[in-house]
Amino acid sequence: MAPQLLFYERAVPVTTERHRDVAVNPRRDYGFARGAGVVPLTTAEVPAAAGAYAVVFVGEGDEVGLAAILGVRDGENLFVDDDGRWDAGYIPAFVRRYPFVFAQQHEANRLTLCVDEASDLLNREGRGERLFDSTGERTSYLGNVLDFMQRYQVALQRSRTFARRVQELDLLRRVQAQIRMGDHGGTLQLGGFRTVDRERLKALPAETVNELFASDGLEALYLHLASLRHLQGLGERAARRGAPKPRLEGTGDDAIDGGDILLN
């Protein structure tokens, strides 16, 4: 799974002294995400994300979480075009929060808002939204950023709890998807992720099913399964960009057909 600081080169705490004259360009250029073939998702995003991406589980141990698969080549995001535009109806919150990120100070058990000073979305010429006004006070824009980041953090913690519960119930299996690369591009195997085993899900006792239903977890699991139909769409996107190079690898996994609508 991609690290927490996937896009960030030089994230530093936001302070009045350091960023008093900094503004964020309002033009949304997602070129910074071109190299991200996988990005994390929160459970709250699954209803929207499942309509555009293959939503899977990635990571190991306590780091298992939901993610959207965005590409099949090493270091390539098939949803960002040459002009930096995002080619899908939903953009993951992990991407939208850039150039901001929370850093956790473990000794103080608190979060600090940071910004990537290497981002070309930042400038000191006043183009876009200022972080601080002329008196050094926080602008409404920065206040909105903080509100978004705090809500994202809450959603992230809930998602981690959800992923742990899914593992406790032993619902996940490792898979390799057979991706067809257009009419004449052959196939490749895309692995390194996990999906819910439909038969194990159906075998859960009623009490557990009700628990998942009440927390919206059951909806997320079935939307995850339905979203796997988008794996074949990745193959078609990749075929339009040239010969495939596998991005994720794995061996000994269950095989699924990227063209299937659901796992059986």
Show the tokens assigned to 7. 């896009």
| Residue 263 pLDDT greater than 50, yes or no | no
Q: What is the CA radius of gyration of the chain?
A: 20
pLDDT of residue 106: 65
Task: Name residues whose C-beta falls within 8 Å of residue 61's C-beta, 6 or more positions apart in sequence.
Answer: none
* pTM for the model: 0.84
pLDDT of residue 28: 80
pLDDT tier at 243 (50, 70, 90 boundaries)? very low
CA 179 to CA 183: how far, in whole Å?
Answer: 12
C-beta contacts of 4-7 below 8 A and 24+ residues apart: 4/101, 5/101, 6/36, 6/39, 6/94, 7/32, 7/33, 7/36, 7/95, 7/98, 7/99, 7/116
